[in-house]
Amino acid sequence: MDERHGTVVIGAGPAGLTAAYELLRHGATVRVFEADDVVGGISRTVERDGWRFDIGGHRFFTKVGRVEEFWHEILPDEDFLLRPRMSRIFYRGALYDYPLNAGNALRNLGVLEAARCMGSYARARLRPPKDQSHFEGWVSARFGWRLYSIFFKTYTEKVWGMPAEKLQADWAAQRIKNLSLSTAVVNALLPRRNRKDVTSLIEEFQYPKFGPGMMWERCTEEVRRRGGEVTTGTWVTAVHREDGRAVAVTVDGADGERRLPADHVISSMPISELVATVRPAAPPEVLACAADLRYRDFLTVALVVPAEFSFPDNWIYVHDPAVNVGRIQNFGSWSPYLVKDGRTCLGLEYFVFEDDETWRTSDADLVARATAELEQLGLVRPGAVESGYVVRMPKAYPVYDDRYQHNVDTIRAWLARELPNVHPVGRNGMHRYNNQDHSMLTAMLTAENIVHGAGHDVWSVNVEQDYHEQRSDNGDGRRGTGRDAPTVPGRTVGAVGGPAPDRRPTGVN
């Protein structure tokens, strides 16, 4: 690499910091600029009055070996906890195992409703919906309309703020992959010893004891120690191009506005914002595609309650349409270091748009509203909530609407043609619902493309067909890790499609 000015990295989340670390590994010059005052992006850990909050919940599990090695290179083994994996679905006052367990579902639904669900599934297998291009058609074809309406529709529409038939099937295929009702029923009913080629979900994962932000705070220290720059509170306001390449960026922060030359630009900022910063400006059709990309925003209302209201799940999906909360984290189930004083903290997650009334509501009113919903669901007794905190995260999830693929393809083609040394990485950088480990992998491959001209197709990451938290049993009782193949690791939302969102020592969702 004939480097004169080095690489500018936009964003100090998992993708941006991984890219910086990997470039420094090869002796390259790198400068990272983060608009926020903290690092980690959606994988940060927020601290308020000694309570720590994970934004969306990040299970550290991956099938990508180099990502797992990266985590353990950054943090020593003693900084990781081994935690049990558990999440359930709350529907009509009952908790359903996830993935679906035949016995548990039968008891909760009742024999009659369970029979109706199986009949609906049989009809879907015999006469699947003709249009499976959207989420509703794709899922109901694989689970039946009745199970789809119970376990997918309400939650998915809470997450995305749109009818399920408007959400493209790409997202379902990426997140649900090859999980199926028939597999769940067979695995629940048949003894394991009599089965070959068994697949099941992971039962435990690793987790940094002080939350995922611990990883990226330490990574920032390492980048600086190795000679890289990481500057927070600084925006990249322009990417300047000449003769078919990016040649400089303009940044604006505490030191004022300045122009910095660059040989390469790695961008984890939303790809729509990246296009808007290019000077001279992109053609009108490219700008229109960028402006048409949509994002779902996210806020957590963290409520402190006595430990008696704890539950063993990492999170519970709330499928009750009578409340707005979509998912409830129990931070004490992630790590005892996140909570204190004989209490736990429950994080009620709301999926919104920045122009929604909910986003603009005061913190005090949001705490009161979340408290009322938690009591309405019967998960705490009235008056049990002692205090609350609100954390807002804009642009948490790229929306897969019916126009997003055309928009992204148009932007990709223009960048490849006009700015080949500008490299989108990560979830928002590529407008792809990547988990954290896949976001990291895009950064690793990009660093190799810059330093060695490796020619990796970064856009092919996370298009595999197997589910990221699924592992195989080789028939002799040994578990296959599949760690050489990039799959869907990390922060998971499970088959019901929640956030994340990405957003995992095996990968961190």
Residue by residue, what is the 3-state secondary structure of 418-486? HCCCEEECCHHHHCCCCCHHHHHHHHHHHHHHHHHCCCCCHHHCCCCCCCCCEEEECCCCCEECCCCCC
Residue 265 CA to residue 156 CA, distance in Å, equals 35
Mean pLDDT of the chain: 87
Residue 276 CA to residue 359 CA, distance in Å, equals 24
* pLDDT(193) > 50: no
> For the chain, what percent of residues have pLDDT higher than 70?
84
- Enumerate residues 6+ apart whose C-beta is below 8 A from 171: 135, 400, 433, 497
- Enumerate residues 6+ apart whose C-beta is below 8 A from 363: 388, 389, 390
Structure tokens given for 256: 């004022």
Q: What is the pLDDT of residues 316-359, one digit of tens each?
A: 999 988 999 999 999 999 999 999 999 999 999 999 999 999 99
The more confidently predicted of residues 147 and 241 is 241
Q: What is the residue whose two structure tokens read 């081994």?
A: 82
Half-sphere exposure of 145 (CA within 13 A, CB side): 9
Give the torsion sign (CA, 413, 288, 156, 296): positive
Mean pLDDT of 188-214: 70
Structure tokens given for 104: 């548990």
Report residue 398's pLDDT band, with 50, 70 and 90 as the boundaries.
very high
Q: What is the pLDDT of residues 25-66, one digit of tens each?
A: 999 999 999 999 999 999 999 999 999 999 989 999 998 999
Residue 509 CA to residue 207 CA, distance in Å, equals 12
What is 378-419 written as a DSSP string? TSS-TT---EEEEEEEEEEEE---TTHHHHHHHHHHHHHHH-
Q: What is the pLDDT of residues 437-456, one digit of tens each?
A: 999 999 999 999 999 999 99
Report residue 251's pLDDT band, with 50, 70 and 90 as the boundaries.
very high
Structure tokens given for 226: 């190795």
Residue 388 Cα distances to 134, 300, 308, 320, 391, angstroms: 38, 10, 17, 22, 10
Mean pLDDT of 370-397: 97
Do 95 and 324 meet the contact criterion of CB atoms below 8 Å apart?
no
Query: Coil, helix or strand for 168?
Result: strand
C-beta neighbour count of 413 within 10 angstroms:
11
Strand order in the sheet with 479-480: 198-201, 470-473, 479-480
Query: Coil, helix or strand for 331?
Result: helix
User: Which pLDDT score, from 0 to 100, does residue 83 have?
Assistant: 96
Helix H segments across 235-386?
Answer: 271-277, 284-292, 331-334, 357-360, 363-376
